[in-house]
């Protein structure tokens, strides 16, 4: 065959072991992914994939897999990383996080935090982030600018937020966001109600109705702490999950973050209604909230993905590390070394996360027709040699610092560990310039009665 007769593609990723993460798929040695425009057009062994490519990306003999999906985070909170640690949740929130947010989180600061979080995410192999914060139009613009896939809501809560004086204004802004971004290839608009204890039933219902109207994800924190479960049992005679189910707001478009303190009946309800659970194992450990019953959820068919939560309670957006900790945590908790095996954890990091966010048909596996969100992990350093089983390698040996190249929506956004779409050094300077102001705001708030 002469070269001119070959099909033409825009990007070809070669020289790596391919994990498509399609159910039951085997690794493909010396695999390749062909991308045209925003989509994957072919996946297979290099020798069977003869194309003419405008650009070729060399995976250097490492792993090629779908981008990781962070199903729950608060991106701009990277600016509060390490500001207050080792504290009870209430004191941490009320004396440190909320004062800092109130004093600082204007649109421009949220933009800086979101960009910095996106840089951290991309360099950790995360190609899709589900945010839950304020100033949604700014967040959406920042994510589009840097070229990472995002699920972006404006958050409703029953008191004024840094971006909205009232829940009514937040709902109006959510509607505008849904209209503007409903057909965007990178940004999925969403509607978020903070939690069943911080948003009243009427507002939760309005938010869920809006999500239904536009068929977008409905995000909510659910049953994060024992306090929340006990308060609902005492005051309403039911659990947070049953309360939301009775309100009629849970559906297959719901992304329920945490679900740590859920009963057997709650798990059955989550499965029956098709609710997606965004599990945040490391945030839950750090705030001593508990351990979500993921093995039971998976056994009963609940959709599950991983999230980092905000960097103020983690303290990084290193989703791979969090999944690796989860893989070990559940073995320790159950006493069963077969619990949460590597292939399961790898699937939750990618396909599972995409399904939780309602993006299962769009991303989450390396499959022809899906959008091209691809990550290449290097396997050159001592901790990464040799590799017998790529899924075991990913979950028990790989580090996010091994991420070499990242493609989102067909575009190369990280090449040889360099983010191509922003000036990382300039952003770092801006973040460092802001840090003393963050500390000052907290000190001022603490000195006030
Ligand atoms: Zn959260």
Ligand 1 centroid distance, CA of 221 (Å): 6
Ligand 1 centroid distance, CA of 367 (Å): 31
Render pLDDT for 105-115 as a digit per residue (tens, 0 to 9): 999 999 999 99
Render pLDDT for 2-45 as a digit per residue (tens, 0 to 9): 445 789 999 999 999 999 999 999 999 999 999 999 999 999 99
Ligand 1 centroid distance, CA of 146 (Å): 23
pLDDT at 1: 45
Quick check: 438 pLDDT over 90? Answer: no
Q: Which fold has domain 3-66+371-416?
A: Urease, subunit C; domain 1 (2.30.40)
Q: Which residues of 242-253 are buried (b: 16+ CB within 10 A; e: fewer)?
A: bbbbeeebbeeb
Ligand 1 centroid distance, CA of 181 (Å): 23
Ligand 1 centroid distance, CA of 72 (Å): 6
Ligand 1 centroid distance, CA of 101 (Å): 14
Question: Residue 344 and residue 286: Cα distance in Å, rounded?
Answer: 24
List, as own/partner pairs, every contact residues 290-293 make where C-beta atoms lie below 8 angstroms and the sequence separation is at least 24, other chains included.
Answer: 290/225, 290/226, 290/260, 290/261, 291/260, 291/329, 291/330, 291/333, 292/258, 292/259, 292/260, 292/262, 293/262, 293/267
Give the domain ranges of the chain. 3-66+371-416, 68-356
Render pLDDT for 344-371 as a digit per residue (tens, 0 to 9): 999 999 999 999 999 999 999 999 999 9
Ligand 1 centroid distance, CA of 260 (Å): 12
Ligand 1 centroid distance, CA of 277 (Å): 12
Ligand 1 centroid distance, CA of 192 (Å): 11
pTM of the entire predicted model:
0.97
Ligand 1 centroid distance, CA of 222 (Å): 10
- The closest of 263, 264, 278 to 218, measured between CA atoms, is 278
Q: What CATH number does the domain located at 68-356 have?
A: 3.20.20.140
Ligand 1 centroid distance, CA of 55 (Å): 39
- Average pLDDT over every residue of 300-315: 96
Ligand 1 centroid distance, CA of 7 (Å): 46
- Average pLDDT over every residue of 165-184: 92
Render pLDDT for 66-80 as a digit per residue (tens, 0 to 9): 999 999 999 999 999
The residue among 191 and 100 whose pLDDT is bigger is 191
- The closest of 431, 362, 447 to 79, measured between CA atoms, is 431
Ligand 1 centroid distance, CA of 61 (Å): 37
Ligand 1 centroid distance, CA of 312 (Å): 10
pLDDT at 2: 46
Mean of the per-residue pLDDT values for the chain?
95
pLDDT tier for residue 88 given thresholds of 50, 70 and 90: confident
Ligand 1 centroid distance, CA of 304 (Å): 16
């Amino acid at each position: 065959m002469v070269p001119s007769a070959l099909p033409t593609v825009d990007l070809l990723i070669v020289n790596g072991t391919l994990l498509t993460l399609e159910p039951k798929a085997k690794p493909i040695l010396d695999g390749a992914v062909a991308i045209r425009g925003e989509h994957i057009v072919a996946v297979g062994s290099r020798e069977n994939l003869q194309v003419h490519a405008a650009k070729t990306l060399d995976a250097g003999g490492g792993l090629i897999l779908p981008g990781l999906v962070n199903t729950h985070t608060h991106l701009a909170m990277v600016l509060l990383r390490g500001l207050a640690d080792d504290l009870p949740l209430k004191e941490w929130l009320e004396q440190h996080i909320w004062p800092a947010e109130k004093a600082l989180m204007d649109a421009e600061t949220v933009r800086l935090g979101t960009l910095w979080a996106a840089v951290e995410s991309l360099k950790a192999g995360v190609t899709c982030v589900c945010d839950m914060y304020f100033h949604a139009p700014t967040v959406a613009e920042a994510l589009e600018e840097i070229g990472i896939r995002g699920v972006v809501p404006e958050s409703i809560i029953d008191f004024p937020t840094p971006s909205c004086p009232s829940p009514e204004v937040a709902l109006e802004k959510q509607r505008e966001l849904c209209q503007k971004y409903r057909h965007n290839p990178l940004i999925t608009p969403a509607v978020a109600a903070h939690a069943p204890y911080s948003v009243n039933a009427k507002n939760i219902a309005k938010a869920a109705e809006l999500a239904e109207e536009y068929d977008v994800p409905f995000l909510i924190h659910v049953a994060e702490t024992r306090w929340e479960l006990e308060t609902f049992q005492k005051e309403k005679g039911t659990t947070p999950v049953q309360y939301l189910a009775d309100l009629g707001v849970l559906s297959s478009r719901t992304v329920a973050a945490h679900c740590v303190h859920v009963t057997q009946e709650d798990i059955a309800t989550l499965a029956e209604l098709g609710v997606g659970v965004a599990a945040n194992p490391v945030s839950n450990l750090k705030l001593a909230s508990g351990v979500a019953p993921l093995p039971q959820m998976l056994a009963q068919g609940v959709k599950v993905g991983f999230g980092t939560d905000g960097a103020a309670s983690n303290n990084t957006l290193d989703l791979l590390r969090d999944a690796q900790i989860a893989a070990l945590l559940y073995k320790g908790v159950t006493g069963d070394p077969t619990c949460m095996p590597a292939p399961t954890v790898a699937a939750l990091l990618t396909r599972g996360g995409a399904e939780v966010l309602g993006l299962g048909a769009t991303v989450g596996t390396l499959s022809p027709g899906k959008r091209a969100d691809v990550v290449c992990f290097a396997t050159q350093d001592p901790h990464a040699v040799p590799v017998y089983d790529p899924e075991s390698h990913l979950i028990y040996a790989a580090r996010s610092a091994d991420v070499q190249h990242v493609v989102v929506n067909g575009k190369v956004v990280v090449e040889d560990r360099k983010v191509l779409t922003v000036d990382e050094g300039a952003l770092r300077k801006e973040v460092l310039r802001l840090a003393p102001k963050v500390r000052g705001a907290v000190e001022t708030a603490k000195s006030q009665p």
